[in-house]
Structure 1
């Protein structure tokens, strides 16, 4: 009888070990389905590129979507067909992508959480601000490797929403950083157009550029003029207004800035916003700007702006001239 109990106990114990072992194995397969972070000190150039391409390929073409539904803003949206893809995306994010780069990637591939699950905006919706996408099938190469950072040159393809003046294919960089937990993660993705949109202007990009008429040289000039301070450090291009499509410094035409709250606003403007605040004093009198210049695109989008072929600086009041000097001094501080 005792032998029988021992036999039964042994069978139960073996079954428990088997189940526990399967659980560990299943978790291992789920959590560590790729092991680029094994022996991180020796992450090879080949494995660094392979990791990046695997993540890009998955987010671009590897996620299978189901039937389309109406998205948040009326776009053609579809949930991930397989729950496993949500889990895989979460693992990629947790183990291999820092938050800022992850937000950049899901914006690039129009991935979002909508009600009950993750999904992707279907091709053809041009409401996003990221206009170049990473190309997983092209050749990537290591540009530099310094201690805890690997810089990879990547290929980006133009979105159909951009005009002919923009290059169909362009180069950018992907940075892998060795983090405090001894894991390599994608820390930054940099491509000249998407940098401008995502890190600086976001949706305001279309207020300055007509992508059907501006070309890459226009963007390069814009970044050089407004994206850096006098010491060559990159600075924000954020715009600040009282309300959408309104003036930046609404009172600059009728009272000296030092008397009003606008002087406080001026202290917090980016270099770009300060320049636009300077020009809007002229724009209120209808100053004309070269076609497709940033001033042309910006002011022609405002309801109050009317071109004046007879514009002259003689029209400016003493208050406006004073405020121009004040704003100019702020502009020169960048």
Structure 2
């Protein structure tokens, strides 16, 4: 009888230990990468890849959606089904993703906050300027590793909004950076069409690049021409205008740039914007550009532009020629 009682006590203790152990393991599973976030020596290549794969798989396929609501712009939208998914996403953002990369990833997977809750737009809708999505089930490789940065190569899949001239899949890079608090975070995502973290184009890309008629080589030529300075360094290509459909240098056709104070604006323009400021002097007279060139795509999207089959260089005034020389000299400084 004595041994029987001891045996029962032992079984009860064993069950309690196993129960506690299971709870501990379940908790560890939810935040299993936190122990890896201690520095460069403790984050192996395999762990770096697993971290990226887990985050992208969660955003891509791991979040269940439930209640449908009307989205921000009338689109079909669904809240996260489980509150735990919102908490998990917050943990990933806080511990493993820098803000700029988080905005990129949530845009890619159509995730947004709405009425104090998180949700996803339906998959058949375009997600703004994100044209390729990370393939969370594809292969990931370490491209390079330095003291404070790990570069991982990944596969991206084409969005249905792109034309047939685009490759169905293409490679891109994900960068993990060791931050000041000694935590590794996804800091940049670079893919040939969505290279926004470097060039600050965001939705402006659609003003220069016709996704139904241009091809990858057109985009690469665009980046090569306007995305670098004379020393080969990446530079921003952002636009500067008073209004979305306005002109860049409004008075460049009616008076000297020096007289109208446009020199300050000219000095802060990107190389791309400077080139378009140069061409808009011609465009006011209806200069015709090659079909689907960046100038064609850009000016045909502006209300004031009208093609003129009779266009001639002789149409330009002396003031316009003077301003062209000023802008050209500035453009050559890049």
Identify the residue that residue 170 of structure 2 maps to in structure 1: 170
Whether 2:236 is the aligned partner of 1:236: answer: yes
Within a 5 Å distance, the mapping from 1:194-209 to structure 2 comes to 194-196=194-196, 199-209=199-209
Q: Could you give the per-residue CA deviations for residues 240-296 of structure 1, whole angstroms, max 9, x where no partner exists?
A: 112111111111111000011322211111111110000000011111100000000
Identify the residue that residue 218 of structure 2 maps to in structure 1: 218
Q: What is the root-mean-square deviation of aligned Cα atoms in Å?
A: 2.1
Q: Could you give the per-residue CA deviations for residues 208-229 of structure 1, whole angstroms, max 9, x where no partner exists?
A: 1110000000000000000111
Separation in 2 of the partners of 1:120 and 1:197? Answer: 23
Runs ≥4 in structure 1, deviation > 4 angstroms? 24-31, 196-199
Identify the residue that residue 316 of structure 2 maps to in structure 1: 316
Bigger Cα displacement from structure 2, 87-96 vs 196-205: 196-205
TM-score, length of structure 1 as denominator length:
0.89
Separation in 2 of the partners of 1:140 and 1:27? Answer: 27
Gap regions ≥5 residues in structure 2: 1-19
TM-score, length of structure 2 as denominator length:
0.89
Secondary structure (helix, strand or coil) at the match of 2:248 reads: coil
Deviation at 1:182, TM superposition (A): 2.2
Identify the residue that residue 64 of structure 2 maps to in structure 1: 64
Deviation at 1:156, TM superposition (A): 0.4
Whether 2:297 is the aligned partner of 1:286: answer: no
Bigger Cα displacement from structure 2, 35-44 vs 98-107: 35-44
Identify the residue that residue 32 of structure 1 maps to in structure 2: 31
Deviation at 1:33, TM superposition (A): 3.8
Q: Would you say the 8 A contact 1:130–1:198 is kept in 2? A: no
Q: Would you say the 8 A contact 2:49–2:140 is kept in 1? A: yes
- Count how many residue pairs are aligned between Structure 1 and Structure 2: 313
Deviation at 1:197, TM superposition (A): 8.2
Identify the residue that residue 97 of structure 1 maps to in structure 2: 97
Identify the residue that residue 117 of structure 1 maps to in structure 2: 117
Deviation at 1:67, TM superposition (A): 2.4
Secondary structure (helix, strand or coil) at the match of 1:54 reads: helix
Secondary structure (helix, strand or coil) at the match of 1:325 reads: helix
